[in-house]
Amino acid sequence: MIPRWAASAAPSLEDFAALAEAARAALPAEFAAAARGVALRVEDFASDDLLDEMEIDDPFALTGLYDGIPLTEKSAFDQPEGPDTIWLFRRPILEEWAERGNVSLGELVTHVFVHELAHHLGWSDADIAVVDRWWD
């Protein structure tokens, strides 16, 4: 007997973006406006240049990244080079999900998204725990 998932494809970049957008939509109202101001990008892996800059040898070691100036550090004098962006890296997230085996893919994508959003918002661990029960 062939398992029913045998014909299934791995979740696409678009599927990951949809999971992250669902996480953004589920945020409490007090965080929603700030979260809408952050761009979302999903790639299979971080670029080699980024991994080199961060001194990361294993491309599976980076599941997400916040690129920008945290709201707690922004100044009216800042000249943005681009939008604040949350990057999610599909293949490392899939790898972690398979290794864990005890959380849904949606839960893991939400966890990574919220963690990166926390960098943008300057959240403490207590703030993160309000929206991501993972941190309890």
Other CB atoms within 10 A of residue 132 CB? 22
At 75 the pLDDT is 75
At 109 the pLDDT is 96
* pLDDT per residue rounded down to tens, the chain (136 residues): 667 767 778 899 999 999 999 999 998 888 888 899 999 999 999 999 999 999 999 999 999 999 988 888 877 776 667 789 999 999 999 999 999 989 999 999 999 998 899 988 887 777 777 767 664 4
Percent helix, strand and coil across the chain, each to the nearest 5: 55, 10, 35
d(CA 123, CA 43): 25
At 29 the pLDDT is 87
Task: Specify the CATH architecture of the domain 11-70+82-135.
Answer: 2-Layer Sandwich (3.30)
